[in-house]
């Protein structure tokens, strides 16, 4: 293959990575932005979405498209429900004290991974793709499903943006973000907003996982990489800034393929983690964000 | 001025997003005096002493202390140079004992008589009997005294007291005035205070701040008679 | 008087551990040796977290520095155990100091993430240089290299006594440290950084010093672990090993000298017991973290100190 088509292929693959990453990271960003909670269990919620999608594909009869559609609805709901429960039972009682919540979400991560290991097992399992067509370009054929993932992720992100900017729920969330106590004084049920935001963040990770699992297979330890990448994206994009998160996800998703071509994957990860650490040390507002007060 | 100058600020300025909290202030402290800083709420008093103590970086202007330019010195170094600051809102170590609170101040200046010096500082504010008590369980008035004891234990050249009598009962204010008088003339006292009786009673000189600028400086008598001060502040 | 009481308590614990050498069954004998070595690690973690208020999620990097500092020296350079032990301690301290110079520019949540990322980078580096470190598979240190001045460290009895000796030194130094004026400054930094600054202490240098001491402990523990148990592997530098001391310290009591050991002892046997009845030992770790942070953030000894034994250091 010539360099041009090769680059095009790399970019298309990168776009898929970027789309899923944007979805996952926006969940993390949302939770941090509104609740000031660093959710270390975010990757576990992602993994849970994928594992549940496998169960749905096993249990729902009929064509893969049907079970996939069911999974796309049910998995985020279940994962969101678990997240809301964790918020109410654990995080709320910690009064969202930042360090305590991190320790608690580490605990949650262990519990969820153990649950997946116990009920799902240690093996990676495939989930059939709902669409099975290839787009034939002049130079190579490309999976139609992967393009559908990009479109799907973009639609979900658009929906999130519309909810945040143009609905009452979004207004309430933003009000809570600015000042929890004032929001409470204006009659906003802050507890419910927090549970909802935490559920929404986890749900976004679950949607991303359901979308990716036909390409990637479900495994109980699959949450590690999305967590790390989401952290990288959210920190580079500026903590809590949704727009920065999207830009960073695009940047990192697209460059991921390129970087992996030039460096060994482990070396790429070493560089990425060091970059994140150094960004936090020297530019805590992120590369694109404004300095927080 | 005949007395030796301990601290001298020239053109001290600090703006916050366009708000001129402190704007070109010239200010001098004479060695051994009790100097009060007064002014309406939001006049920039706390910002000004924060610039002196180094808690907030100076935007422009210079500060000389004890013959040395300290404008760029970080706060902890200024403490070692001899500027002690006691907080407006009580900042003690609530979970430590009263003794440990003051001992921290004593050991900060590398005293070789840690226990003796600590107990002496406690005795000066009358807390020597409560040395073993957990500081957080002290009454509010005692916590303020502990805060002052920590300042004294640093053996400062300049003791900055930020609204020390706020929330104290009458009797406690009298005790407090005694303590401040006992500090000079070895050390110099800069006092931010709202209680005019305390100010007029204690201060040898007064500086009035308004909108981040010095409105007047002088003896209590002169300040009382100053027309501009009366208009701006004393409700004249 | 109270000073003596505390000292006698700690000496009593050491005496009990010496007695255990003679009466504990072989299985527990090995376990306790391992627990003492891990407790040194947790004590170091406690100096940073419990006393100074630095919640690090990356201490595995420091433990790993000690582990590999000692292990690689023995394995590739044929160094003796004493040199390796010293090298491990220094590696832990140097790594802590280097990380601190950068990470301590941040605080709170950012500090947690930065330390996590540095440790992750360290772990990946071990994997990346697999030809030297043998990565996940790890290095088995030959018995011949595990000699400390004529003592065979692979012998169960010797291993226990050497572990106890190192533990005793670490414990008593820890006790002396937290009762020293510097110990008071560490606590002051944890309780109120701004206040401490205005008492003339430079928060950065105080925290850097505490973190470096913490690193020396972690390095000692890592080096001792490698030499006493003869294995040096990447899994011992993974994120689990950053969480482990946090868990021990939370359980035993942050900011208490004996808390790390008590936490290590209880947690070790809790997981050991859970592994025997189910394979869900990760669940035990997770549940312990959540329950402790929810219901007993002061841990066992911290709660005891608050309720009854105020003189506990």
| pLDDT class of A177 with cuts at 50, 70, 90 | confident
Tell me the pLDDT tens digit for each residue of A119-168. Answer: 888 888 888 888 878 887 777 777 888 888 999 999 999 999 899 888 88
The CB-side HSE value for B53 (13 A sphere, CA atoms) comes to 27
For residue B42, give Cα distances in angstroms to A98, B11, B209: 32, 19, 9
Residue A292's pLDDT is: 43
Residue A291's pLDDT is: 47
Beta-bridged to residue B35, according to DSSP, are B190, B205
All structural domains of chain C: 2-307 (1.10.3470)
For residue C253, give Cα distances in angstroms to A99, C17, C256, C299: 16, 20, 6, 4
| CATH architecture, domain defined by B1-79+191-236 | 3-Layer(aba) Sandwich (3.40)
Q: Is the pLDDT of residue B88 over 90?
A: no
Domain range list for chain B? 1-79+191-236
Between C211 and B86, whose confidence is greater? C211
Residues of C within 8 A of A94 (CB-CB) are: 293-294
Cross-chain Cβ contact A276/C289 below 8 Å: no
Q: Is the pLDDT of residue B195 over 80?
A: yes
Is A touching B (3+ C-beta pairs, cut-off 8 A)? no
Q: Exposed, middle or buried: residue A136 (CB in 10 Å: 0-12, 13-18, 19+)? A: exposed
User: CA quadruple B122, B127, B131, B134: dihedral positive or negative?
Assistant: negative
Structural contact between residues A188 and A172, judged by C-beta atoms closer than 8 angstroms: yes
Range with the poorest average pLDDT among A278-287, B12-21, C285-294:
A278-287
Averaged over successive runs of 10 residues, the pLDDT of chain C (313 residues) comes to 76 89 87 94 96 94 96 86 92 96 90 92 92 85 78 84 94 94 94 92 96 97 93 89 91 91 91 77 85 86 82 78
A274 touches chain C (CB under 8 A): yes
Distance from CA of C192 to the nearest CA of B (A): 7
Q: Is the pLDDT of residue B208 over 60?
A: yes
pTM for this entry: 0.87
Q: Is the pLDDT of residue B1 over 50?
A: no
Range with the poorest average pLDDT among B7-11, B228-232, C258-262:
B228-232
| pLDDT class of B40 with cuts at 50, 70, 90 | confident
Distance from CA of A187 to the nearest CA of C (A): 28
C294 touches chain B (CB under 8 A): no
Tell me the pLDDT tens digit for each residue of B89-100. Answer: 788 998 899 999
Tell me the pLDDT tens digit for each residue of B144-173. Answer: 999 999 999 999 999 999 888 888 888 889
Residues of A within 8 A of C121 (CB-CB) are: 270, 273-274, 277
C195 touches chain B (CB under 8 A): yes
Cβ contacts of B124 within 8 Å, gap of 6 or more = B149, B152, B179, B182
Q: Is the pLDDT of residue B212 over 90?
A: no
| pLDDT class of B236 with cuts at 50, 70, 90 | very low
Cross-chain Cβ contact C57/A102 below 8 Å: yes
Cross-chain Cβ contact A274/C118 below 8 Å: yes
Q: What is the DSSP string of A169-232?
A: HHHHHHHHHH-HHHHHHTT--HHHHHHHHHHHHHHHHHHHHHHHHHHH-B-TTTTHHHHHHHHH
Tell me the pLDDT tens digit for each residue of B180-190. Answer: 999 888 899 99
Q: Is the pLDDT of residue A289 over 70?
A: no
Tell me the pLDDT tens digit for each residue of B107-121. Answer: 988 888 888 999 999
Distance from CA of B222 to the nearest CA of C (A): 34
Residues of A within 8 A of C114 (CB-CB) are: 277, 280-281
Q: At what angle do helices A144-166 and A190-216 cross, to 10 degrees?
A: 170
The ipTM (two decimal places) reads 0.87
pLDDT over 70 percentage in chain A: 94
Residue C41's pLDDT is: 97
Cross-chain Cβ contact B91/C192 below 8 Å: yes
C101 touches chain A (CB under 8 A): no
pLDDT (average), residues A65-74: 89
Cross-chain Cβ contact A269/C124 below 8 Å: yes
What does the alpha-carbon distance between residue B61 and residue B81 come to, in Å, rounded to a whole number?
19
């Amino acid at each position: 293959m010539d360099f041009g088509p090769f680059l095009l292929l790399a970019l298309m693959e990168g776009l898929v990575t970027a789309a899923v990453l944007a979805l996952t990271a926006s969940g993390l960003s949302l939770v941090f932005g509104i609740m000031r909670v660093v959710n270390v269990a975010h990757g576990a919620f992602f993994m849970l979405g994928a594992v549940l999608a496998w169960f749905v594909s096993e249990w729902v009869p009929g064509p893969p498209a049907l079970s996939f559609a069911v999974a796309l609805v049910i998995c985020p709901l279940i994962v969101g429900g678990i997240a809301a429960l964790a918020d109410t039972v654990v995080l709320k009682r910690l009064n969202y004290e930042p360090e305590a919540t991190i320790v608690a979400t580490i605990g949650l991560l262990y519990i969820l991974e153990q649950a997946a290991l116990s009920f799902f097992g240690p093996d990676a399992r495939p989930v059939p793709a709902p669409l099975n067509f290839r787009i034939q370009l002049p130079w190579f054929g490309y999976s139609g499903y992967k393009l559908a993932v990009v479109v799907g992720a973009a639609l979900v992100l658009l929906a999130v943006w519309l909810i945040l900017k143009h609905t009452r729920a979004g207004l309430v969330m933003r009000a809570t973000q600015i000042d929890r106590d004032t929001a409470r004084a204006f009659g906003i049920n802050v507890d419910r907003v927090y549970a909802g935001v935490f559920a929404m963040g986890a749900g976004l990770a679950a949607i991303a996982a359901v979308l990716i699992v036909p390409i990637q297979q479900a495994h109980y330890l699959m949450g590690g990489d999305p967590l790390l990448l989401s952290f990288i994206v959210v920190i580079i994009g500026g903590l809590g800034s949704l727009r920065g998160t999207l830009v960073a996800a695009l940047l990192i998703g697209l460059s991921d393929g390129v970087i992996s071509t030039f460096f060994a994957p482990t070396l790429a990860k070493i560089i990425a983690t060091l970059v994140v650490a150094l960004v936090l040390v020297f530019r805590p507002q992120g590369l694109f964000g404004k300095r927080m007060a | 001025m005949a007395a030796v100058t301990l601290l001298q600020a020239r053109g001290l300025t600090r703006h916050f997003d366009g708000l001129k909290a402190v704007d070109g202030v010239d200010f001098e402290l004479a060695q051994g005096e009790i100097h009060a800083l007064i002014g309406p709420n939001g006049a920039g008093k706390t910002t000004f002493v924060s610039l002196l103590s180094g808690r907030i970086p100076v935007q422009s202007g210079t500060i000389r202390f004890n013959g040395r330019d300290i404008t760029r010195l970080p706060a902890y170094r200024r403490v070692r140079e001899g500027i002690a600051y006691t907080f407006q809102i009580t900042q003690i170590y609530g979970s430590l004992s009263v003794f440990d609170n003051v001992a921290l101040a004593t050991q900060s200046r590398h005293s070789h008589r840690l226990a003796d010096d600590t107990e002496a500082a406690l005795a000066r504010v009358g807390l020597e009997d409560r040395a073993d008590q957990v500081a957080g369980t002290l009454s509010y008035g005692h916590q303020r005294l502990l805060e002052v004891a920590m300042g004294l234990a640093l053996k400062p050249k300049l003791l900055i007291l930020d609204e020390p009598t706020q929330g104290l009962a009458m009797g406690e204010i009298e005790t407090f005035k005694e303590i401040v008088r006992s500090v000079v003339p070895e050390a110099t006292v800069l006092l931010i205070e709202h209680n005019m009786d305390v100010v007029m009673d204690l201060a040898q000189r007064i500086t009035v701040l308004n909108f981040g600028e010095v409105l007047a400086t002088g003896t209590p008598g002169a300040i009382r008679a100053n027309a501009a001060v009366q208009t701006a502040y004393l409700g004249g | 008087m109270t000073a003596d009481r505390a000292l006698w308590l700690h000496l009593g614990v050491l005496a009990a551990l010496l007695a255990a050498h003679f009466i504990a069954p072989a299985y527990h004998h090995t376990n306790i040796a391992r627990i003492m070595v891990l407790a040194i690690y947790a004590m170091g973690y406690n100096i940073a977290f419990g006393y100074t208020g630095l919640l690090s999620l990356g201490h595995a990097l420091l433990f790993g520095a000690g582990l590999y500092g000692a292990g690689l020296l023995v394995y590739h350079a044929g160094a003796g155990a004493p040199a390796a032990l010293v090298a491990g301690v220094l590696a832990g301290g140097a790594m802590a100091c280097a990380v601190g110079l950068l990470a301590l520019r941040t605080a709170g949540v950012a500090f947690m993430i930065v330390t996590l990322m540095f440790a992750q980078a360290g772990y990946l580096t071990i994997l990346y240089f697999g030809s030297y470190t043998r990565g996940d598979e790890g290095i088995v240190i030959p018995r011949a290299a595990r000699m400390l001045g004529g003592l065979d460290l692979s012998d169960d009895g010797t291993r226990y006594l050497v572990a106890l000796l190192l533990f005793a030194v670490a414990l008593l130094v820890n006790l002396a440290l937290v009762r020293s004026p510097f110990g008071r400054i560490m606590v002051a930094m944890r309780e109120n950084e701004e206040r401490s600054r205005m008492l003339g202490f430079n928060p950065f240098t105080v925290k850097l010093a505490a973190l470096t001491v913490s690193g020396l402990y972690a390095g000692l523990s890592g080096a001792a672990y490698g030499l006493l148990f003869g294995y040096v592997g990447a899994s011992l530098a993974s994120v689990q090993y950053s969480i482990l001391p946090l868990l021990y310290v939370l359980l035993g009591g942050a900011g208490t000298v004996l808390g790390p050991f008590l936490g290590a002892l209880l947690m070790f046997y809790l997981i050991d017991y859970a592994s025997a009845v189910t394979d869900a030992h990760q669940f035990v770790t997770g549940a312990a973290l959540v329950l402790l942070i929810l219901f007993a953030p002061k841990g066992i000894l911290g709660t005891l100190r608050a309720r009854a034994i105020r003189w506990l250091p």
